[in-house]
Amino acid sequence: MSALFEPLRLRGVTVPNRAWMAPMCQYSAEPAGPAAGVPHDWHFAHYAARAAGGTGLILTEATAVSPEGRISPYDLGLWNDAQTEAFGRITRFLAGQGTVPGIQLAHGGRKASTDRPWKGGEPVGPEAHGWQPLGPSPLAFDERHPVPTELTTEGIAEIVGQFAATAERALAAGFEVAEVHGAHGYLIHEFLSPHSNHRTDAYGGSYENRVRLALEVVDAVRAVWPEDKPVFFRVSATDWLDQGGWTPEETIRLAGDLQAHGVDLLDVSSGGNVKAPIPVGPGYQVPFAARVKAATTLPVAAVGLITGAEQAEKILANGEADAVLLGRELLRNPSWARHAARELGAEVHVPDQYHRSV
């Protein structure tokens, strides 16, 4: 049997294969008004196409737990009934195709309130539906970004509550997996890394203090998420700094802590918290996932320039990861999983309407 097309059971959820879709922001929601943050026809078609293409699990784009948690005004959110109802339309279709619907719960932190990438991605102000970003410390991401407002302990507690409330809405919308976004320089990653976290209270300084927010969010989500459904955590395994940043060794330590707090899989990415040279190449982040898998008992997913069926099969067959997440490759080819199954001599769900193409 192909390792890529072997089912994976996590708690009470069985994912039919291990070719999964990574969260990728579409920057396509309305920026303001009653439809702000609400998924619409573009989002439905986007996710539906990948489900029809055989993808085993789909993680929606970073979905904000509050309006100011959006990375851009055009991002999805899940803080009201209109958003919950619209997400339900998507999850029902995904589940109908045998795809497990998952959601990434996120807060943009100091990197929030930016324009869409194809418009330059610059920070935007109130005149363009923007807002003042929040962060662990009054340190801007770079020279273009504003200095964020430093969160108080009361503000931190409020955000933890927002993650829990959004998880409850995600459950009502039909999601089977909840992923906490702790990577790519957004709020939770900002707290993890000493590069961006200069606090001197219980949320800064030592490793134990810097991971406090991550564990509090996981605890809050796990408390409202059903026991038989899995919780994931996405981490940037390294800041790619020689010193002063988050490290692979800390990632391995965090993996154990997350597992003890009820996390079922670590989604291993890297970077995003500081501008640093990254040696990008095929599968360049897989070694970080492999290190976590070798050092812990927590299942891991690998991501980063995984494009070919044989490449993905080898990662899993070699025991470097338990699943692979595809990003841009699934943008190029929504039916990647179906094509990979054919190449590897495996079987994957094909909609009745598409059987003539098999």
**DSSP at 99:** P
Q: What is the DSSP string of 39-70?
A: --HHHHHHHHHHHHTT-SEEEEEEEESSGGG-
Residue 1 — pLDDT band, cuts 50, 70, 90? confident
Residue 166 class from Cβ within 10 Å (0-12 exposed, 13-18 middle, 19+ buried)? buried
User: Topology of domain 8-357, per CATH?
Assistant: TIM Barrel (3.20.20)
Q: For 76-100, write each residue's pLDDT tens digit.
A: 999 999 999 999 999 999 999 999 9
H-run or E-run covering 188: helix 187-192
Active site residues: 186
**pLDDT (0 to 100) of residue 357:** 81
For 53, 147, 242, 286, 304, the CA distances from 324, given in Å and listed in that order, are: 16, 36, 28, 9, 9
Which pLDDT score, from 0 to 100, does residue 83 have?
98
* Every domain of the chain and the residues it spans: 8-357
pLDDT, tens digit, for every residue of 176-190?
A: 999 999 999 999 999
Residue written as token pair 């610059």: 122
**Is residue 61 within 8 Å of 24, Cβ to Cβ?**
yes
Q: What is the pLDDT of residue 358?
A: 76
Q: Flag whether pLDDT at 110 surpasses 80.
A: yes
Q: Which one-letter amino acid corresponds to residue 350?
A: V
